[in-house]
Structure 1
Amino acid sequence: MQQNNGLDKNQLISFALFSLILIGAMFYFQNKQAQEQELLDAQNKTQTTQSAVQNTTKPALATNLNDSVKTTSIQQVQLKNKELTVGISTLGGQITTVQLNEYKAYNKNTDKNDKDLLIFDKNNSSYGFQFKDKTGKTFNTKDLVFTPIQNGNSVTMQANANGAVIQFIYTLLDKYTVDFNVKTQGLSRLVADSKADFVWDFSARQMEKGRSQEQTHTEFNYSFNNYKSFDYDGRTTMEEPDETLNWLAVKQQFFSAVIEPQHGFKNSKGSQEMIDEGEFLKKFNFNGQVDLVGNELNQNFKWYFMPLDLPLLKSYNKNFDELLPLGWSFIGSLNRWFFIPMYNLISSWGLAAGWVIFLMTIIVKIILSPVMFKQHKLSAMMKVIRPEIDEVNAKFKDADPMKKQQEIMAIYRKAGVNQMAGCLPALLQIPIFYALFRFFPNMIDLRGKSFWFAKDLTAYDDVIKLPFHVPFLGDHLSIFAIACTIVILIYTVMTSGNIQQPQQEGMPNMKVLMYIFPITFLFFLNSSASGLSWYYFVSNAINILIILVIKYWILDEKKIHAQIQANKQKEPKKEGKFQKRMREMMEKAQEQQKMQQQQQPGKKK
């Protein structure tokens, strides 16, 4: 499928006039529906009889199905409810337009979400059932011209293929659902295979501000094993030859198109191709087999065009909630059972989304306060014993590094300082960071919510626009990302004094690396959700306040120093299992190093 670059102004005017003519024709023909149906049934019976006679001499062939198609014969029937507006074309009997009525898409010209949100439109989707006839040739329903018969929010599309009758019955339901019932009669005289292919070509349209972020979240998703298992594929191809897919979705950042076959897709395969620029993000192609019973296709399908709202997804009871990429295992549980309920609770107080995030940050800090206090207390104690560490470094400057490290560990042990205690807060921050990295760009309740510089907390703020493109940074600077980088840098400066510098030649300066780390955050956050930058700005600002409070109001360095000196006079504490294991490993490594030196040529034994 070729990329569609959209319609120009003249084409839009022509299309609008043509649509008005079609709508008038629909009202005119609606009064004759009953008569047309009776006439159509009579024709079908005649054609079926003729086909039966012909089949006694030679097999029926499905050839030249589209020779008689004229542009003027193509119509579009519209179904509409509160949630969806669906347009169905008589060419292929397929859904060609899908609009989510309660949502808007991002408009680059206005920098707002004020465009109609169209999942299908401008021929970006094409699907149909592909059959193989008795001569080995294939034909596809998307090439047939169907006749529509509408009854309220249901329409029957009917076509003839060399005497076979094919019906697509669409019914617009609640909860973003379109029932798609497929019926055939006489198809068994045409086809020789007991299977048909469902072929879907789809180009995903950009609907959000952050193109790269939305591209990352645009991918194949599917369920199998009776809706119990789930998988996704964001790479170039997908292959599922052994599983029967219960549903197949093309998922974007906040919305998804899902096709669900009654009896599943078999031998499924698909491909996806990135689109670098323009209206669309990715091209998708999917091919899945459906079984024919008696060489006839009579099966119910369902289309879902839905927002990725967690309560809605759960309500289907079809494993659709996996479409929301909240993270695997513990990360996903942290989002589902902690961050999302907390956000929903605080936002129910009527606060702006930015202040909801602010309160969420404070709550997380309060929960982590015991371990954070221990970390900052350890930092203060490390500062007190820094002179003694420096003395050991100077004393063993030219000695064996292992010996020097053993002496330093002895000082820690005598002072009652447990270095590993500082690792716990860092380890706790890792799952929280990754959970929030998943939470902010995928929380639909935050979509379109503005706060200060950001017009949408699920996308970046670009108040500062650059006249050129910077690699890995883009053509803008996010104020929230800059602010977050600054506070992380300040926090690093305040805590880097306790970092022990390596004494070996060729080893990198750890302080320099610590200062470079915050700068990398700017590149990471500049095109990420501004809600994430705002959260980490608040979080690190609170860290700075905690350090200042501990330093000036809670911990007394003189008392800590006195406590350390008292610990030295006491009988050394019994080594813990970890400390003992570390000491034994270092001693073993030291012995191996000595043996290697003795075995080298020219060394005295």
Structure 2
Amino acid sequence: MDKNQATGLILISILMIAYFWFFAEEPKIPENGEDTKIEQIDESQIETTRTPEVKEFKNDSTVNQELINQYGAFATVAKGESEITTFNTDKLQISFDTKGGRINSVELKDFETFDGKPITITQQADEEKELIFNTATGPVNLYDLYFELVDAPKRQITDGDTIQFKYVAQIDANKSIEQIYTLSGNQYEVGYAVAFNGFTNEILGDQLTLRWNKKMRKFEKDLEQSRVKATVNYYSETEGMDGLSERSEDDSEQLTEAVKWFSFKQNFFMEAIITDIPMNRAEFSTNIEDLSDDYVKRGTAKVEIAYSEFQNKAAEFKYYFGPNNYKALQKVAPDFEENVYLGWFPISLVNKYVIINVFYVLEKYISNYGVIIIILVLLIKLALSPLSYKSYVSMAKTKVLKPQLDEIKEKHGGDMQKAQADQMELYRKVGVNPLSGCIPLLLQMPILFAMFYFFPSSIELRQEAFLWASDLSTYDSIVNLPFEIPFYGDHVSLFTILMTASTLLITWSQGQVSSVQGPMKNIQYLMPIIFMFVLNSFPAALSFYYLIANLITFGQQTLIRRMIDEDKIIKILEENKKKNANKKTSKFQQRLQEAMKASEEAKKGKSKGKKK
């Protein structure tokens, strides 16, 4: 090849390269819309790490472009397949979904619904859950993204074992979102952490928003009582534990202080999220709008959490899925046991420091809860027997004074002021305090009302049978009525009927030593009937407790009546009358007489005003 030929070939080559460079047609997209596939070596597969594969989307695909428009930098993990993985502990069967890397459902293994079905305390079909963060293309819900499960060594976790695994959304080689879960074999708590790794400008703003809308399923027989006990509770360090009204069918609240936990609480079970990270601008609400009878109430929660808590580190939380057991809840979080409502102060103190502790001690040694209730009544009655004796003796003293009290009424006729003054003078001389019979009864009232809150909240009684009652935690229906009686219900509770009969018996027995006459004597027989209506739909355990308490009280009164000699009481009162003949009236009695005098004068003033 001479010099001219070589020069010609070079020029031709240059021309051909220039032509294809500037004038060649672009590669055509196939008519089916799919991208042409070019096989490339995935360098991540060469390494032996478990980092999830980074997905790539082509900008020229209509579907992928829509994802890019909506999710921006997170479009690579906005498309995938939902895969469910189930783990089993001694307490929970809990499944997770790769879509959202979230909990799909939680079943409580040790419990069943009233009709024998598994208790699934949470499932995606019953709730809408969002963890929102802002991007240049708009808000993105973490639970709309697709994750890959890594580091899950086993699916069965037994007592004493603890495992940790991750759901990872790998955006690119240096950017990822991790959700880390911790399961223990014998706990109802599930550890949860979220981390945003390697992001610089992709996430805008300084807050993430958690929205949680949950429909609480019905697990108990009585829908009405279940709705009364369902609510949203929360805890803040400044105000402590608080919550929405349980009895309200539509309630809401916005908080200015940060909360550390909130719960979707039912009578016996609860789902909650707990953290030491401040959850700000909290909004909570409950309602029953458009709910079927399969659900007791809808609860909603919205909180904001600082993005800095998630940025390149794991923000730690904890879920609780489990029973409302007072002693167990004390170990979960501050004031978490307050989800079990035990009454207002001081009723709650009686339950927390006396009744619950005695009940749990008995529970260790006795398996029959009906027998536990009987022993509990016996112990309480034994502890209160000095007060009961004093009250009964006081009524006996009032009874022996009745003839003298009747003489005073006849002497003064309709002048109540003078009659009351002479009555007080008689009480002073014989050494009888007319209030001494009431004070012991008042001191017993906190325990009486404590049971009114304790039994309906005790999960230990749930589905425990005794005699004809199949479940002590709800009413014992012996007859289902084809209609509903106002304020009573559509069933007949036998324990409530027996409790009412025994209360009437106690009222009659006390009337034998009481000086109460006239309308008041008849009114006291009305109260047991009112309680029959109130307690008909309450737990059988409560009516059974009052029944046993009434029977023991009747036995106590019968025994005390035999021990008391009314003739001796009369002699003692006469001796006191002689001793106190010249004794000055006490300051307390003076104030009491003055109050009675003022009350009588006020009545006279009103009667004169009406006549005018």
TM-score in terms of structure 2 length: 0.79
1:561 aligns with 2:570: yes
Give 1:514's match in structure 2, choosing from 494, 514, 524.
524
Which among 353, 371, 393 is matched to residue 355 of structure 1? 371
- Cα offsets for 1:236-293 (capped at 9, x unmatched): 4454533221111112222221112341311111110136751111101100101112
Deviation at 1:200, TM superposition (A): 0.9
Where 1:194 maps in the other structure, the secondary structure is strand
Q: What is the CA distance between 1:390 and its match in structure 2?
A: 2.2
Structure 2 CA distance for partners of 1:485 and 1:87, relative to 1, 3 Å:
same
**For the residues of structure 2 that align with 1:377 and 1:73, how far apart are their CA atoms?**
79
- Find the aligned partners of 2:502 and 2:608 in 1 and give their Cα distance: 53
The 8 Å contact of residues 273 and 283 in structure 1, kept in 2 or not, is answered as yes
**Alignment partner of 1:302 out of 318, 322, 337:** 318
- Gaps (5+ residues) in structure 2? 1-43, 59-67, 156-163
Does the Cα contact within 8 Å between 2:73 and 2:202 map onto a contact in 1? Answer: no
Q: Counterpart of 1:554 in structure 2: which amino acid? A: M
2:553 matches 1:581: no
1:547 aligns with 2:530: no
Question: Is residue 487 of structure 2 the alignment partner of residue 485 of structure 1?
Answer: no
Residue 178 (1) aligns with residue 190 (2): yes
The corresponding residue for 1:260 is 274
Shift of 1:363: 1.2
Contact 1:187 1:295 in 2 (8 A): no
In structure 2, C-alpha distance between the alignment counterparts of 1:597 and 1:94, rounded to whole Å: 71
Q: What residue identity is the alignment partner of 1:382?
A: T
User: Contact 1:149–1:157 (CA<8 Å) still a contact in 2?
Assistant: yes
Over 3 Å counting, the alpha-carbon distance change for 1:42 and 1:280 in structure 2 is closer
Q: Secondary structure at the match of 1:88?
A: strand
Q: CA deviation at 1:210?
A: 3.4
Equivalent residues of 2:71, 2:78 under 8 A apart: no
- State the number of aligned residues: 544
1:232 to 235, 240, 243: 243
Partner of residue 118, structure 1: 120
Deviation string, structure 1 residues 27-75 (Cα, Å, up to 9, x no partner): xxxxxx999996975526x789xxxxxxxxxx985379999989x9322
Matches within 5 A, 1:353-432: 353-399=369-415, 401-432=416-447
Q: How does 1:20-169 map to 2 (within 5 A)?
A: 41=52, 43=54, 62=71, 73-107=81-115, 114-121=116-123, 123-134=125-136, 137-149=138-150, 151=152, 152-153=154-155, 154-159=164-169, 165-169=176-180
Q: CA RMSD in A?
A: 3.6
Kindly state the Cα deviation for residue 199 of structure 1 after the two structures are TM-superposed.
0.8
Cα gap change, 1:160/1:454 in structure 2, threshold over 3 Å: closer, same or farther? same
Correspondence for 1:8: none
The CA distance in 2 between the partners of 1:600 and 1:251, in whole Å, is: 55
1:248 aligns with 2:262: yes
Query: Residues 179 and 192 of structure 2 are in contact (CA less than 8 Å); yes or no, is this contact kept in structure 1?
Result: yes
After superposition, the Cα gap between the structure-2 partners of 1:522 and 1:493, relative to the gap in structure 1 and judged at 3 Å, is same
For residues 374 and 294 of structure 1, the distance between their equivalents in structure 2, rounded to whole angstroms, comes to 63
Aligned to 1:325: 341
**Distance in 1 between residues matched to 2:95 and 2:45, nearest whole Å:** 22
- Paired position in structure 2 for 1:534: 544
Q: Is the 8 A contact 1:254 1:444 kept in 2?
A: yes
AA aligned to 2:228 is T
Q: What per-residue deviation string (whole Å, max 9, x for no partner) do you get for residues 391-422 of structure 1?
A: 222332332x2222112222322332211111
Q: Residue type matched to 2:551 in 1?
A: A
Deviation at 1:582, TM superposition (A): 0.6
Match of 1:473 among 472, 483, 488: 488
Is residue 84–residue 96 contact of structure 2 (8 Å, CA) maintained in 1?
A: yes
> Which consecutive unaligned segments of at least 5 residues does structure 1 have?
1-32, 49-58, 108-113, 503-508
2:485 is aligned with 1:449: no
Q: Distance in 2 between matches of 1:602 and 1:147?
A: 88
1:233 is displaced (CA, Å) by 2.1
Q: Distance in 2 between matches of 1:589 and 1:262?
A: 57
For the residues of structure 1 that align with 2:264 and 2:48, how far apart are their CA atoms?
36
Q: Identify if the C-alpha distance between structure 1 residues 37 and 184 changes in structure 2 by more than 3 Å, giving closer, same or farther.
A: farther
Q: Using a 3 Å threshold, how does the CA distance of structure 1 residues 585 and 37 change in structure 2: closer, same or farther? A: farther
Return the offset for 1:488.
0.8
Partner of 2:5: none
Paired AA for residue 85 in structure 2: V
Larger radius of gyration: 2
Q: Distance in 2 between matches of 1:395 and 1:437?
A: 46
Q: Tell me, yes or no, if the aligned pair for 2:101 and 2:147 is still in contact at 8 Å.
A: yes
Is the Cα contact below 8 Å between 2:430 and 2:580 reproduced in 1?
no
Counterpart amino acid of residue 245 in structure 1: V
SS at match of 2:113: strand
Q: Tell me: CA distance 1:262–1:274, structure 2 relative to 1, closer, same or farther (3 Å).
A: same
Q: Cα distance 1:66–1:344, how it changes in 2: closer, same or farther (>3 A)?
A: same
How far apart, CA to CA, are the structure 2 residues paired with 1:350 and 1:302?
Answer: 34
Secondary structure of the residue aligned to 2:476 is coil
Q: CA deviation at 1:188?
A: 4.7
1:532-557 superposed Cα distances (whole Å, 9 cap, x missing partner): 11111111112222222222x21122
The farther-off stretch of 87-96 and 194-203 is 87-96
Please give the alpha-carbon distance, in whole angstroms, between the structure 2 residues aligned to 1:255 and 1:124. 16
Distance, in Å, in 1 between the alignment partners of 2:45 and 2:431 is 92
Matched-pair contact (CA < 8 Å) for 2:52–2:170: no
Do the aligned partners of 1:96 and 1:125 also contact (CA within 8 Å) in 2? no
Larger deviation, residues 325-334 vs 260-269:
325-334
Q: Secondary structure at the match of 1:540?
A: helix
Number of the residue aligned with 1:54: none
* Separation in structure 2 between the aligned mates of residue 34 and residue 463 of structure 1, nearest angstrom: 69
Paired residue type of 1:346: L
1:11 matched residue in structure 2? none
Choose from 202, 209, 216 the match for 1:197.
209
Report what 1:111 is aligned to: none
Aligned twin of 2:285: 271
Work out the CA distance in 2 between the residues paired with 1:488 and 1:271.
41
**Which residue type is aligned with residue 84 of structure 1?**
L
| 1:300 aligned partner, one-letter code | E
CA distance in 2, matches of 1:40, 1:279: 43
